[in-house]
Chain A
């Protein structure tokens, strides 16, 4: 893995970025840093500004205020374009070209030798279909070709817009193994996603956009702590009768036989001790920590964090 202390400087710096389309503010004061080898998940509802943020970084659209640097260069400059790779949300290549021809064009534009095309196609599992027209390919195959062009020329920063959408579980697993490999080689990755359960284990940091504002930017553990979401305890009562249990502990009766309690993380042990003291009144305890879904809803929802 990359040594973050030696190369601790951010390779992508976004500072106080603002962008509006007409009177609608799409991005408000967004600041975000990515260090080499870092995998950052960018979460948010549709229209939260994820794609807009990526387009500013790529230099496809000009921000109204704020500054972006990619490896020290401004978006859209030749140096920045060489350093950055992009996987659009809906990859649409020309139907009449074959995969090999399309990737060769990208290699030529990137100034890479044509000899790297075949190994890249092999890497994403397209070697057998490389000479068929893209028009005959499935969506998953086009997504892989998109990923192959991201791998071109070992970019310093890669922006992947919804890379997991439309992939079956096996392709998704391969996608994340390629992401891990790129991170290991020092590429900083910004991955927008709705597949929350996937990014949980696969990213180092989670950034959440809500209505154009960055409302969270931290590791999952620290975000959970900050959110202070309750732990859910589900108790099953003896003889399938929760009346006595409910009288003892309060909480919410789910059906005749069980009771649900919510408690803060720091009260967990105390609560469990009280439950244990009830003896055989309780036949089972089920404990669920806050899920990423809960966390995401907490930060991206209407309520103020």
Chain B
């Protein structure tokens, strides 16, 4: 089983490299992270924290948008595209299971994302540390940002496979993936915000809202990074929601999302007739 998963993974990794996905993803991450680090250098003095802390806070906000986007762009074609090209029908005539195919693709795509995240955030972090100084706390915050970004990417990779299996074609899968991104990253927060304004500090805001926030992997990612570092919390202004929840909730949500979404994707993949 392992050897078949690795065979799929190494082939997918090769494809990702040839398609310039590895290069593109790394460049995007690096450019945005560097730009944010130096554009965000201004409030350092006002908050009394080092440049790396501010940089991690900015990059956290960046990653909420970028990690799901990159993951969905890599994943939407994975099943629908193979069905359209006819490659899936052929590969399934070999003694390899759908679970092994899915896992192989996931490993390759997650590896690509992890490489891009580490390179992008690492470079920006190093630049910030060199020019503005860094404490041990801010270095831990940077490591946490990279790790949680990979988890967030993993969750959206799996969600991407899910829509890829549910959609009839690669074009439809691309549309669904765009919708998914909009829903999780933009609309979910907007609707919660609307509910808070309507509720005006009542029961919903104090007891329901933090849990709903943690349910969304993108927000769980934000909460985890905010709760982890006081400086980051100051810089992002998300302390309220983070304080209202037990410390384990956001990490549990973010860690559980990738495997659960993978199980859902495997279920949908099982119903695909190539």
Contact = CB atoms under 8 A, between A and B. Distances in A.
A94 interface: yes
Interface in A94-120: 94, 96-97, 101, 105-106, 108-111
A60 B14 CA distance: 27
A94 B93 contact: no
A60 B11 contact: no
Interface stretch (A35-43, A78-86, A123-131, A297-305): A78-86
A262 B85 CA distance: 49
B136 interface: no
Interface in B1-52: 3-4, 7-8, 11, 14-15, 18-19
Given A86-B90, A96-B19, A109-B91, A61 B85 contact: no
A39 B218 CA distance: 57
Interface string A60-76: 11000000000000000
Nearest to A75: B93
Contacts of B200: none
A287 interface: no
B28 to A, nearest CB: 20
Contacts of A105: 7-8, 11
B95 A110 contact: yes
B18 A60 contact: no
Given A96-B15, A108-B4, A91 B86 contact: yes
Interface in B85-112: 85-87, 89-96
Contacts of A60: 89, 92-93, 273-274
Nearest to A87: B90
Contacts of B86: 88, 90-92
B107 to A, nearest CB: 15
Interface string B73-95: 00000000000011101111111
A291 to B, nearest CB: 33
A110 B18 CA distance: 25
B273 A61 contact: yes
B211 to A, nearest CB: 42
A60 B274 CA distance: 7
A86 B86 CA distance: 12
B93 A96 contact: no
Contact of B89 (A82, A88, A97, A101): A88
Contacts of A58: 89, 92-93
A78 B95 contact: yes
A55 interface: yes
Chain B CB within 10 A, most for which of A81, A108, A133: A108
A93 interface: yes
B90 A97 contact: no
Nearest to B15: A96
Interface of A: 55, 58-61, 78, 81-82, 84-86, 88, 90-94, 96-97, 101, 105-106, 108-111, 133, 146, 149
Q: Which 6 A-B pairs have the closest CB atoms?
A: A96-B18, A92-B85, A108-B7, A109-B94, A86-B93, A81-B95
Interface of B: 3-4, 7-8, 11, 14-15, 18-19, 85-87, 89-96, 273-274
Given A60-B89, A60-B92, A60-B274, 5 more contacts: A78-B95, A91-B90, A94-B15, A94-B87, A111-B95
